[in-house]
Structure 1
């Protein structure tokens, strides 16, 4: 336990503590941001491992983007990604045929059957949501240790 010889010494110690806290406070926001970013990248990696692969396009296009302090989006802009994640009903051509390429061969169909859901983003989020608090705590701990050393 710290002993104090007088009010001036106590005031000096409190001032030093306040200075350390002010310094640490400047880094708390960025520490939280770093913890969230770490978690988002963990989710991205996991989603890439879980996504079903046909051509590899969807896997390559899973990405993490920063949208604000402590805010990140993990996802993809591939148009068929929701059909993979959530499944879809049958698709019927309005008029004419649906055209697609399979193994280099162009196919024409009036309709294609439903697609079963093959979730990859939601399971990745579930897998890492408990990591968020841990990652933020680690970053804040690092900041506080540096401020008080």
Structure 2
């Protein structure tokens, strides 16, 4: 997800003595919690293993702050993208970048997306959350 003009705003806040990185990290952390909660709500529940494995993290790599909602359950991608003929034909999120093999010799299961829809339904809220945290940082600098 990109936010037009964010780089310029961050440079200006930092040039005035603000801490845009801290504001962004806090905002991203808050937004990730929302996406994580929605992904857990959307994930199909059998024994709850998949839902309970969904986690949110915020990390910094080369001055880029990355918010990630993920799971380490081995079958998570198959639930998100489906399997076999039914998975390939499912109206699912964009197909997996992990080159899942949709075997054609069995019916498989429909996609049951939970991560992608959680992100999509929060895009506006994520931007609003980041905006609020940056505005708070600007107010600390004496702006309104």
TM over 0.5: yes
2:39 is equivalent to residue 47 of structure 1: yes
- Residue aligning to 1:37: 29
- CA contact under 8 A between 2:83 and 2:108: conserved in structure 1? yes
- CA contact under 8 A between 1:37 and 1:70: conserved in structure 2? no
> Number of paired residues?
108
Deviations 1:70-105 (A, max 9, x none): 211101010000111000017xxxxxxxxxxxxxxx
- CA contact under 8 A between 1:34 and 1:70: conserved in structure 2? no
* Alignment partner of 2:120 out of 111, 114, 126: 126
* Alignment partner of 2:17 out of 14, 19, 23: 23
Separation (CA, whole Å) in 1 of partners of 2:17 and 2:130:
18
- Residue aligning to 2:129: 135
Separation (CA, whole Å) in 1 of partners of 2:134 and 2:67:
18
Higher percent of residues as strand: 1
2:74 is equivalent to residue 117 of structure 1: no
Separation (CA, whole Å) in 1 of partners of 2:133 and 2:71:
27
Give the match's secondary structure for 1:79: coil
Give the match's secondary structure for 2:79: helix
Separation (CA, whole Å) in 2 of partners of 1:133 and 1:66:
16
- Structure 1 residue ranges without an equivalent (≥5): 1-19, 91-111
* Alignment partner of 1:65 out of 43, 57, 61: 57
1:146 Cα deviation (Å)? 2.0
- Residue aligning to 2:79: 84
> Alignment RMSD, CA only?
2.3
Deviations 1:41-63 (A, max 9, x none): 11100000000000100000000
Separation (CA, whole Å) in 2 of partners of 1:131 and 1:54:
29
Separation (CA, whole Å) in 2 of partners of 1:67 and 1:21:
23
